[in-house]
Amino acid sequence: MSPDYFIDLLRKLLSQAVVVAAPFLLTALLVGLLVSLFQTVTSIQEQTLSFVPKALAVVGLLFFILPWLVRTLMDFTVGMIGSLPEMAR
């Protein structure tokens, strides 16, 4: 396997990881921001108030985008398995 091929493979892997993780990270970020704003306005400083809504939002998002997530990961896996003969050269 040439170094150029390995770098391209690593680039594809990292970009796929970003694509899969981005919706979850953005959801947690937005919910955390809204909860922090709510806590600041109401002067409530409860730690569970910041954790529970983020966890529920991420789990809800998981159920909502699960078909897309599985399809994306399956396409990536099939592409990697299909490129195994090129890797052996």
What single string gives the DSSP state of each residue in 44-77?
Answer: ---HHHHHHHHHHHHHHHHHHHHHHHHHHHHHHH
Predicted TM-score of the model (pTM): 0.82
The answer, yes or no, to whether residue 63 has pLDDT greater than 90, is yes
CB 50 within 8 A of CB 39: yes
The share of the chain scoring above pLDDT 90, in percent, equals 64
In total, how many domains does the chain have? 1
What is the sign, positive or negative, of the torsion defined by CA atoms of 26, 30, 31, 33?
Answer: positive
Domain that holds residue 69: 3-88
The answer, yes or no, to whether residue 40 has pLDDT greater than 90, is no
What pLDDT was estimated at residue 43? 86
**What is the band of 48 on the pLDDT scale with cuts at 50, 70, 90?**
confident
What pLDDT was estimated at residue 6? 84
- Mean pLDDT, the chain, rounded, equals 91
Question: What is the DSSP code (8-state) at residue 83?
Answer: T
Kindly report the length of the chain.
89
